[in-house]
């Protein structure tokens, strides 16, 4: 009988954790996107975000198939949907930075950066 109670409690805790995680992830994309009036370009506005936050891993070694020093790889990731999915920590994608949900030193990108990247993508990904 004790085993059944322990198993039931464990299953309840796991289910509750998954439900709260799903709600937290789903809420990250609910704010309306407000893009700046000026045209964003990769070289002037986006490249430094990637250099500061992404190219330590996604570099000329093409780890995970991307070298974010090169705009063509950033565009490839953006066109596939993987870029926004990963940096927004959407449930269908592996979050980037990879361990951000678990480690403070690998925190999710600032919302300002995410919004800027999303605006750049939606405005045609100018170089």
pTM given for the model = 0.69
Show the DSSP H helices in 27-126 as ranges.
47-53, 71-80, 82-87, 111-122
Q: pLDDT by residue (tens digit) across 62-114?
A: 666 789 999 999 999 999 999 999 999 999 998 887 765 555 556 789 999 99
Query: How many domains does the chain fold into?
Result: 2
Question: What is the spatial distance between Cα 67 and Cα 70, in angstroms, rounded to a whole number?
Answer: 6
Strand partners, 41: 126
Domain of 72? 35-122
Residue 127 maps to a domain:
no
Same domain, 26 and 43: no
Q: pLDDT by residue (tens digit) across 16-68?
A: 554 444 433 444 444 678 998 889 999 999 999 999 999 988 898 866 678 99
Same domain, 75 and 114: yes
* pLDDT on residue 41: 97
């Amino acid at each position: 009988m004790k085993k059944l109670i322990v198993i039931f409690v464990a299953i309840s805790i796991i289910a509750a954790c998954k439900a709260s995680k799903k709600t937290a992830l789903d809420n990250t994309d609910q704010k309306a996107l407000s893009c700046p009036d000026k045209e964003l370009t990769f070289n002037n506005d986006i490249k430094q975000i990637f250099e500061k936050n992404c190219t330590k891993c996604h570099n000329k070694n093409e780890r995970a198939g991307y070298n974010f020093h090169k705009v063509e790889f950033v565009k490839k990731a953006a066109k596939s949907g993987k870029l926004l999915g990963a940096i927004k920590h959407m449930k269908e994608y592996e979050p980037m930075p990879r361990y951000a949900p678990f480690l403070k030193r690998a925190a999710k990108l600032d919302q300002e950066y995410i919004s800027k990247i999303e605006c750049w993508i939606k405005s045609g990904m100018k170089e």
